[in-house]
Amino acid sequence: MRVQAIISYDGSKFQGMQSQPHGQTIQDTIEKALKKLNINSKINYAGRTDTGVHGLNQSIDFEIPYFWNNLEKLKFSLNKIITPYIFVKFIRIVNDNFHSRFLATKRSYRYLITNRFTPFNAPYTLYKKNLDIELLQKSIKLFEGEHDFEFFSKKGSEVNHFIRKITHSNIILHKNYVIINFEGNGFLRSQIRMMVKFLLDISDKKFTPSDLSKQLNKQKLISNDLVIPNGLYFKKVWYEDFNYRR
């Protein structure tokens, strides 16, 4: 039987989501924990996060044997093995054809920036002062709508096309933090980090909103630099029959 789990994780402790030969990824950690519970299954995930990127409500799915019919006990047993850096928030039974990545209808990410440095939040935020918030709020709206984001994706992305739709974006100020939010039907590899870096370069007057429009319309590749992964969070994922709200 197939189940879906909603998990959160501290990406600073792992070499990304996807399984790697060294075995120090979120996928490898979870699959090793499942084996300890006599569950021999590979996991699917909604978003492939890079090294250092965090997850708030990431979706994974995997097969479990029928003797694991107590899902609360399964959640407790998994958390006992994988905490403190990964935490299972919720588990439910799904259809056999469920796939966390292919059936997702919408995803959201956030990026955290702080103007007050401390070594204790360095793995979880970008430290940067003197942002031009008004210019950022104006520029971020250029990303909204359906675009060909080829110039905002990492080379080597294994996709059939680069067209994605960003349905909502905003910038929120909260105490000493600037929170950049993106919501859309899907995102390319490193797309969020590339978009945030371009916005920050606009704030620093290195580029202009017009430069952003030129790259977005594929008139000119101006920059493919990435902001550091520390402040990036996989925030949420939506499905037609399910929307995790906790």
Task: Tell me the catalytic residues.
Answer: 50
Q: State how far the Cα of 59 lies from the Cα of 97, in Å rounded to an integer.
A: 15
CA angle 134, 123, 62 (to 5 degrees): 105
Query: Which residue in 7, 54, 57 sits closest to 231, CA to CA?
Result: 54
**DSSP summary character for residue 116:** S
Q: State how far the Cα of 140 lies from the Cα of 199, in Å rounded to an integer.
A: 7
Report CA-CA distances (Å) from 29 to 15, 19, 54, 79, 81: 11, 9, 15, 12, 9
Cα-based torsion angle of the residue sequence 109, 115, 116, 118 in order, rounded to the nearest 10 degrees? 50
41 class by beta-carbon count within 10 Å (0-12 exposed, 13-18 middle, 19+ buried): middle
Helix (H, G, I), strand (E, B) or coil at 200: helix
Buried b (16+ CB within 10 A) or exposed e, 225-234: ebbebbbbbb
